[in-house]
Chain A
Amino acid sequence: MIHFKDVSKTYRGGVIALEKVSFHLKKGEMAFLTGHSGAGKSTLLKMISIMERPSAGSVLINNHDLTKITKKQVPYVRRDIGMIFQNHLLLRDHTVFDNVAFALIIEGYTRKEISKRVDVALDKVGLLNKARCRPDMLSGGEQQRVGIARAVVNKPPILLADEPTGNLDPELSKEILGVFEDFNQMGVSVLIATHDLGLIARMRYRTLTLSHGQVVNDGLHTPDGNRGRS
């Protein structure tokens, strides 16, 4: 599903963010991406959503090479990828419902369809009764779940999360991860970047470890055995 082939990224000024990163996340697979701050986790996620372009190598999603995606096509790629952020990125002057509906409105869904799908998504994260609230009125965990609802409302095949449990207590973190697991069970490929090692340890999922821009452990015990399979 997500296939990195020798991807390198060098920022202006010569800072190397990623160096020859290769891995393959299969369809319907859930995995963690971990590493210390500045190891390149965010950069890696940005490559998938084309917020950054690789300096070398290529990223493939469902066997489509992202380097061949033009600037005009980027929005359409992003519609296939649900993204969740540590700071939620919710719009404060819009209701929870509107925040989630955003992803559908831009695609030109009808009002009826939007209402139906937003309700389903909010129900899945347990916030249906808060649809008319503004994000400020919600707790941190609830805000994060609104972000998740927005990411999944148009049923994307891929879900990316950058530190989704960053400032939540362990109990809430577990709850959020439970939501991810639910989506994963419906066949969505999930990649979660986190440095919460305790959280990872409790769950038995594949874990990719980055260090100084390189994959030091791709979560499969035989790193070379993964290559060539796609």
Chain B
Amino acid sequence: MSLLFDNRASGAEDLHKKGFMQRLPMFLLNNFRQMIASLGGMWRTPSASFMTIMVLGLSLTLPATLHVLVKNVQSVSGSFDSASEITLFLKSNISETKSRNLLARVNLYPEVDSTQYISPKAAMEEFKALSGFGNALNYLDDNPLPAVILVRPTNSNRAPDAADALLAKLQKEREVELGKLDIEWLQRLNAIVRLLQESVYTLGILLLSAVVLIIGNTIRLSIMNKREEIEVMKLVGATEGYIQRPFLYTGIWYGFFGGFVAFLVLEMMLWWLGAAITRVAESYNNDFILQGLSFGEFGYLMLIAIGLGFAGSLFSVRRYVSQIEPEML
């Protein structure tokens, strides 16, 4: 495109006269060339590129690992969630039949999945067996233990709030002396998981900003190294965008490879730790399965890494390329 000379023929001029759709393939082709060229540029300085990529990869590994950690803890605490059980202690002066009646009523609650009745006698037997008082309990005149109904809510009513509501409802039953839902520890666990999550995100943001800064600085150095070339390109009339693009693509490549390294390191770590974690889980009789990154999460990791690479390089390119102006000495 010649601004000053209307009828000056040039190879590119013909392109500029064409419509957007005709220009697009050429634009894409040029972009593709620059993309491959910047990959070639990284290849020509293998050790420097390798170190940068490893630094990025390891910086990205930590947030990714923490994410996997939070995910697994959540799945564990999720399985605790569904274990909530309500214990109803019945009034001690209630007959066995009345208790059975209550049991039948409670069973009809839509929120209730199953119930278990423990008579005072059965409770006493259990207490004897587990408490270690043994025969000493025989000296008691009468059985001080109340009848107990264990209520297991349906799946949808096992969350702390819903279980709490069910407890309040059950406590209104005449025969119930006291209902107990041990959800405090559950709430505490949830709070701890949330705290862990928050701190992981905070730490993640810090590490991701580090990635942006690392890429920004790497690109800044490479702009400084190519100062002469940039000056010459500006002299012969390269547009700002044309000069900036190889650096942007380099940043994107750094992000891409850094993200991939993070993925590999994470998978290796999971593989390494997987056996040990499963053994620990087995000792708790828990059918716990260590979860890795899903395909979608891998995609997010790559997208985030590439995005950060782009952001870092864009920052440097905007700041430093325009500062370089050709000098005629």
**Which chain A residues have a beta carbon within 8 Å of chain B's beta carbons?**
42, 45-46, 49, 51, 61-62, 64, 69, 72-73, 75-80, 83, 85-87, 89-91, 102-104, 106-110, 113, 150, 154-155, 157, 162
Residue interface bits B230-258, CB-to-A below 8 A is 1, else 0: 01111111111010000000000000000
Kindly state whether residue B5 has any CB partner on chain A within 8 Å. Answer: yes
Looking at the assembled complex, report how far the CB atom of A16 sits from the nearest CB atom of chain B, in whole angstroms. Answer: 19
Kindly state whether residue B161 has any CB partner on chain A within 8 Å. Answer: no
Given contacts A108-B11, A109-B11, contact A102 B236 (CB under 8 A): yes
Looking at the assembled complex, report how far the CB atom of B37 sits from the nearest CB atom of chain A, in whole angstroms. Answer: 10
A to B CB contacts below 8 Å, 16 in the list: A46-B328, A62-B4, A64-B4, A72-B240, A73-B3, A75-B239, A78-B234, A79-B237, A80-B8, A85-B328, A89-B228, A102-B233, A103-B237, A107-B10, A108-B30, A162-B328
Which of B228, B231, B238 contacts A75 (CB under 8 A)?
B238
Q: Is the CB of A106 within 8 A of B239?
A: yes
Q: CB-CB < 8 A to B1: which residues of A? A: 76
Q: Is the CB of B12 within 8 A of A107?
A: yes
In the complex, A76→B234 CA distance in Å? 10
Which of B10, B26, B30, B326 contacts A154 (CB under 8 A)?
B10
Q: Is the CB of B236 within 8 A of A76?
A: no
Q: Which residue of A lies closest to B23 (CB)?
A: A108
Q: CB-CB < 8 A to A62: which residues of B? A: 4-5
Q: CB-CB < 8 A to A49: which residues of B? A: 235
Q: CB-CB < 8 A to B228: which residues of A? A: 89, 91
Q: CB-CB < 8 A to A150: which residues of B? A: 236
Q: CB-CB < 8 A to A45: which residues of B? A: 328
Which of B8, B26, B237 contacts A106 (CB under 8 A)?
B237
Q: Is the CB of A110 within 8 A of B2?
A: no
Q: Is the CB of B3 within 8 A of A110?
A: no
| Total number of residue pairs linking A and B with CB closer than 8 Å | 89
Given contacts A73-B3, A89-B232, A154-B10, contact A106 B238 (CB under 8 A): yes
Q: CB-CB < 8 A to A85: which residues of B? A: 328-329
Looking at the assembled complex, report how far the CB atom of A128 sits from the nearest CB atom of chain B, in whole angstroms. Answer: 21
Given contacts A62-B4, A154-B10, contact A51 B236 (CB under 8 A): no
The list of the 6 closest CB pairs from A to B, nearest first, reads A78-B237, A79-B237, A107-B12, A106-B238, A109-B11, A103-B236
In the complex, A76→B4 CA distance in Å? 9
Q: CB-CB < 8 A to B328: which residues of A? A: 42, 45-46, 51, 83, 85, 162
Which of A75, A90, A157 contacts B237 (CB under 8 A)?
A75
Looking at the assembled complex, report how far the CB atom of B208 sits from the nearest CB atom of chain A, in whole angstroms. Answer: 33
Q: Which residue of B lies closest to A113 (CB)?
A: B11
Kindly state whether residue B229 has any CB partner on chain A within 8 Å. Answer: yes
Kindly state whether residue B325 has any CB partner on chain A within 8 Å. Answer: yes
Q: Is the CB of A79 within 8 A of B236?
A: yes
Extra A-B contacts (16), CB below 8 Å, given A49-B235, A103-B237: A45-B328, A69-B3, A72-B239, A77-B3, A78-B234, A78-B236, A78-B237, A80-B5, A86-B329, A87-B329, A102-B236, A106-B233, A108-B12, A113-B11, A157-B5, A157-B8
Kindly state whether residue B15 has any CB partner on chain A within 8 Å. Answer: yes
Q: CB-CB < 8 A to B11: which residues of A? A: 104, 107-110, 113
Q: CB-CB < 8 A to A162: which residues of B? A: 328
Q: Which residue of B lies closest to A76 (CB)?
A: B3
Q: Is the CB of A75 within 8 A of B240?
A: yes
